[in-house]
Structure 1
Amino acid sequence: MSAPMSPRPLSAQNTSLIAGGNAGKPIRCTTEYQESFEKLQRAANRGHHWARMAMKELNALTTGMQGKNNVYVRPGERQISTGNAQYYVFLPGLKATVVRWPNDQFCITELVMDDNYYRTSSKDRSRMGMYRVTKSRSDAWKSTYVDSGNVARQSGRVVTVADAKFGTANDAARASVPGALEFLGNNSAALRSGGCDLHFTPGEQRLGGLRCYNALKLDDSRASALHLAKSMENAKTIKHISWVADFGGSAVLTQAMQILVNKGIKLKGHTAYLHRPRTSPAKALRLAHKLELELNKEFADTGVNPVGALSQFSVAGQRIDNELDPYDRSYHAKKWLKRIVTVSTPLGMAGAVIAGPTGAMLGGIATVIGGAGAAFALGQCVTKDVRHKTA
């Protein structure tokens, strides 16, 4: 019996050229995906914003992989059958597996595409991207898709970045706008009357969580982050925009911030806030500093999540040392001892502060703030808080 034939190796003869025909590195795909790219090109020619963006990013591949860490993940991974370098590319509407041939050409060997990107119906409220959100007569939040992907050119505009696992943008708005209202506090009248913008990420699962707490390692939110980063870049000249991520929306916002940092973009005059984030607020905070955002003392509300609290503790020193960050030693002492008190049993505070995991946290706080005087101040804060809670 003859041995089974091995698959025919990919070459210029059995693949299709989709970019780089005139200049740069040729980008090819297996023939089964040629129709998909033709469909993408037709959508771009019809003026579909995200299809145009995807084609632009696709053509950018012709300059090689360097400097595109925002789009490519796990560079250097090898294709098992050939040993060629393998990459994962995230573009609007698609996730592609790309193999680098020895002759420095690239070939897309696997592609996952989303037909949502080619729909043009204004009634479709499940497309990824930017939406205008307003209140209806029934007092519900309603959304309208923005073809350009741009934020409303209005000083003080609020943009909420929703978690996934919502059927429509309307559903996402109803869930995420309350987080923005919490961020605004007593200054929420403008949002209630004039609405806000929403960045919507379709998906069957929520983003982030304790098993995938590092936002920069998540794949499910990368295409959405690329969308959001473009919206943020186009909005950099609008004054006082607030980017408010709700739950798993923190993954999208953090990755978008990383994209902007990689591109050397600044967002002076803008601010950011994480409402109950499902990814590390510490990573987002470091990126916020690099973008020169004007942060409030309260950057993230992690609730009673001890992992989120520890994540914020880890960057407290950096916040205190940053001259542009209003977070100071006094606020640190009051805020985080109160958070420890909340996480601990309210009536067992005296023992909790001295021993156990909370004691270890307290030692870390004292180290950040520095000196016995700080520890004394923390003790006074605890005492006052306990009396208030038990009175």
Structure 2
Amino acid sequence: MNKFKSQIQKFILLENKVLKNNGEMVAQQNKFTLQAILLSGAIIFISAFLGSILSTSAVSAGYGKLSIFYLIISAVAAIIFFIISVFPNINQYFIIYLTYTIVFCYCTFTSALVSSNYVSVAILSIIFQIPILFLDKSIRINLFVILGTSLYLTFIFFFKKRDLLVDEIFNCIIFAFTGIIMGTFTRYAKMENISVKAELNHLVYFDGLTEIYNRRKLFDDLQNDQFKKEITGIGILDVDFFKKYNDTYGHQQGDKCLKSIINCIATFNFESNFSIYRYGGEEFVILFKNTSKERITTIADTIRLGVESMNIDHKSSDLKKVTISMGIALVSAENFEGYEQTISNADLALYTSKSKGRNCVTFYAI
């Protein structure tokens, strides 16, 4: 019993962690699943619509009056598919539960009123698959299944043939219970996979010391066409006389110094539209996005003055405290020469800052 309780607690912790920290990956997986269901559902209901109006068999004749419902469900599926494709930021949980509610209501209607002589396979499949296919808080998914099952059983109690009622109730309860149990294990496996993938991505794209993006992430972002369109400037930041700092205070203190500088820069990142990457050693690259030269100048000077104001002792520096220098190259359609060249231009501007005595910001002269 204690082992079972421990396993449940472990799953709840994992679930909360994944949904909180990896929402984008969860949303992407839910989106793909929902799109596949909507696409296949639209095809199935269109086929049912065509069959109901073209076939002359007795079975089809019994469902002929549902042809308009088949068409409506297909149209609704197509519309929802279009919405989540065109508007990626829409609340997908709302769309998921709305979609299942619509199909649930339709299947309840056909099972209780149209085919009251038969056990509903469609409604049982929905009850079974909801907990398995999507990722959300278990409490929400399970309550949705329990509520849907309860409403369905209440509805068929008044309309279903009495000789089928016991079987229907038994089947629904078994399917709901099985779906919840299997869904719990399936979601645990999916969330564990997402958690591992997120950790691997963190190792690949984040610097272990400063916990900011690394050089690999920088060049991956620069290969992203949408990301590239937003870049208006590239800056290279260098900690002045950092080798002397390490020689004087030791490498452990040097690591603490770099962390302090990044923490200082992070305080401005909320208001300023830029991304920062560790380029190597004491060098960092800053990508300015959708920002004018005047705003870039303000941001760069704010960072420089912020680091200087920390007053970290550096007796081997001329200023006797830790400072930074920066070189910036602007990016525009007129002067764009490729990002390798732009980074090289920023590096030349950084060299100019150092030659001017350090603790300053220089723009590359076009």
* Length-normalised TM-score, structure 1: 0.22
Greater per-residue strand proportion: 1
Q: Which of 1 and 2 has higher RCO (CA within 8 Å, sep 6+)? A: 2
Q: Larger C-alpha radius of gyration, 1 or 2?
A: 2
Greater per-residue helix proportion: 2
* Length-normalised TM-score, structure 2: 0.23
